[in-house]
Amino acid sequence: MNRQDRSHLRRVLQIWAVLSVVGVALAIVIVPLVSPVTGSSVEGFANLTDLVFTIIAVPIAAFVWVFVGYSLVAFRERGAPAGRAEDLEDGPPLQASGRQQVAWLAITGALAIFFVGWGMFGFYKQTIDPPADPLVVNVTGQQWTWTYDYPSLGVQSHVLELPLDRPVSFRVTSDDVLHGFVINGLGVAMDANPGIWVTAPTVTPTKLGSYSARCIELCGLYHTYMWTPVEVVSPSAFAAWAKALHANPSAAT
Amino acid sequence: MLVTLVGLVGVLIGAVFGVRVLSDLGFEPAAVAATSGANITLSAFPDGYVCHPSTPGGGPQAEWVSYCPSTSIRVPAHSTVTVTIMQYDTGDTLHNPFFAQVMGTVGGVMTVNGRSVQRIPADDVGHTFTIQTPPDENESPLFVSVPLPGVADNAPNVVTIAGHQYPKPNVIVFRFKTGAPGRYVWHCYVPCGTGLAGDGIGGQAGFGGPMATTGYMAGTLTVT
């Protein structure tokens, strides 16, 4: 590496460092603003995952973009090329050193191991101490809505009603094609596969309010309309709702 | 130059094909609007001969099950709408028995040939007429679902409509209340359509063709 190359490299690293610091600062400010409300025992970890992964991704993305952008500007062909375009020659080939290759493998390998470990830690946290008696909700996806069956209560509904602070275990399936069951704000995201029941770790709603369940798997004509309301209510209100629905199934709207 | 020309022709062919595909997503006849008193009358046919007669060069499918006279429905806001559906098709078993229940109607009931019911057997449902709310219409949520009992498989064809023979229909009547103006979608939840690519996944089929095309088993409800 000659003196001029070292100058380019120093400049690139300086730009990268500045952009990384600015990007990480922006991520710390912006990501929490655009994250869903934390409405369950799971969603907080999901939002934290978004923040941490974004913070890690910013310097990596900046590293690539700065090198590409700087190269386009600094090493572009200036002026009209002499002769025919076919006669232009490429620059000298780059040969990475052994240290660079080891560093590249070490950094990317460490990142991959960190991401896997993070996911396993999150899954471990959700499954290490499962509640003994969760409320089981059977969720069926069908073009183009979700329906909810509460086997312990003997009721079915088009609206997903959940009691506050009670663990819920979702069992999800599909009657036709692949769907994706997601509740924004509660950290629920599960595949709905035809003929198969999928069960995820239990989720405990921790905040009263209205949420929505949607399909995130493109499933047909009315995919964008495939949603249902989700209401997290007090335990007494939930009991009253279930009792009323049991007495009058036609009110399942 | 030649490569550029071939590329442009390719893009043009792709655009024409794309427009053609989009146009085939729906064949909705002119909207049917509620008459005075907010009454709507629809028919559910085992084919599309009445509303979708075959046309040269393809297009609407005359063999597909269909709602008539249109799947584009307009009803007044803040009203009680009375819907009468003449069900000419036979029944089958629901994949999801939830839809055998009458939901969202006035009193939670409908009448079938004059008899008031809240639910019908899940193994004899010809179609459902189910209205639901798009995500952006939260101010006036609407969910109405009515199962249509099928006519007997061996019922004789005694009715002639547009030159085609059908059995005596089941007459289903129900009422529902509308809120503020808005746009909703409705469709059938009985897999009464044609197969899909990948038939056999979970043993389910019948969600293609008329079930995936507006103008047959799916449409819009506009509250004005």
Residue A92 domain flag: no
pTM greater than the 0.90 cutoff: no
- Residue appearing with tokens 């029941």: A197
- Considering the domain architecture, whether residues A153 and A203 belong to the same structural domain is answered as yes
If contacts are CB pairs under 8 Å, which of residues 29-88 in chain B contact chain A?
none
Q: Does the CB of B2 have a partner CB in chain A at under 8 Å? A: no
- Residues A33 and A61 both lie in one domain: yes
- Can you give the CATH number for the domain in which A224 is found? 2.60.40.420
List the domain range (segments joined by +) for residue A161.
135-251
Question: Residue B58, exposed/middle/buried by CB under 10 A (0-12, 13-18, 19+)?
Answer: exposed
Q: Is the same domain home to A114 and A143?
A: no
Expressed in angstroms, the distance from the first to the final Cα of chain B is: 55
User: Kind and range of the H or E element at A64?
Assistant: helix A43-74
Q: How far is residue B118's CA from residue A249's CA, in Å, rounded to a whole number? A: 9
Q: Which tops the pLDDT comparison, B7 or A63?
A: A63
> A7 and A111 in one domain?
yes
Q: Is A83 inside a domain boundary?
A: no
3-state class (DSSP) for residue A27:
helix
| Phi–psi pair at A187, nearest 5 degrees | 75, 25
Say how many domains are in chain A. Answer: 2
In chain A, % of residues over pLDDT 90: 58
List chain A residues with CB under 8 Å of B213: 221
Residue A81 domain flag: no
Token digits of residue A75: 């090493």
Please give the pLDDT value at position A217. 92
Cβ-contact A211, A174 below 8 angstroms: no
> Looking at the structure, do residues A58 and A123 belong to the same domain, yes or no?
yes
How many residues make up chain B in this entry? 224
Characterize B17-44 residue by residue with b for buried, 16 or more Cβ atoms within 10 angstroms of its Cβ, and e for exposed: eeeeeeeeebbbbeebebeeebebbbbb
pLDDT at B201: 46
Domain finish residue from A127, A146, A170: A127
> Based on the domain organization, do A48 and A152 belong to the same domain?
no
Structure tokens at B178: 């509308």
Range with the poorest average pLDDT among A16-30, A168-182, B34-48, B159-173 = B34-48
The rounded Cα B84 to chain-centroid distance in angstroms is 14
pLDDT tens digit string along A202-211?
Answer: 889 999 999 9
- Domain end position, chosen among A109, A127, A145: A127
Q: Which pLDDT score is estimated for B214?
A: 79
Both A7 and A122 in one domain: the answer is: yes
Tell me the one-letter amino acid at B205: A
Is any Cβ of chain A less than 8 angstroms from the Cβ of B96?
A: yes
Q: Given the structure tokens 């709310």, which residue do they identify?
A: B133
pLDDT at B198: 47
Q: Which of A54, A66, A63 is nearest to A26 (CA)?
A: A54
pLDDT, position A221: 82
Please identify every stretch of chain B with a pLDDT value under 70, giving residue numbers as ranges: 1-4, 15-31, 34-37, 54-60, 137-139, 195-205
Helix axes A98-127, A43-74, angle to 10 degrees: 160
CATH number of B27-223: 2.60.40
| Complex-level ipTM beyond the 0.85 threshold | no
Task: Write down the pLDDT at residue B138.
Answer: 63
Does one domain contain both A116 and A183? Answer: no
Cβ neighbours of A117 (radius 10 Å): 10
CB contact (8 A) between residue A250 and residue B95: no
Domain match, A7 and A117 both: yes
Same domain, residue pair A152 and A65 = no
Q: Is B200 on the interface with A (CB under 8 A)?
A: no
Q: Which has the minimum average pLDDT: A40-44, A96-100, B187-191?
A: A40-44
Looking at residue A105, its amino acid is L
pLDDT of the residue at B63 = 81
| A69 and A27 co-located in one domain | yes
Q: Mean pLDDT over residues A90-112, rounded?
A: 87
| pLDDT for the residue numbered A185 | 86
Return the pLDDT at B200.
46
Helix/strand/coil for B174 = strand
Q: Chain-wide mean pLDDT for chain A?
A: 89
Domain map of chain B by residue range?
27-223
Is the CB of A4 inside 8 Å of chain B's CB atoms? no
At residue A12, φ and ψ (nearest 5 deg) are -60, -45
For residues A55 and A140, state if they share a domain. no
- Where does the pLDDT of residue A252 fall: very low under 50, low under 70, confident under 90, or very high at 90 and above? low
**What pLDDT, on a 0 to 100 scale, did the predictor assign at position B59?**
53
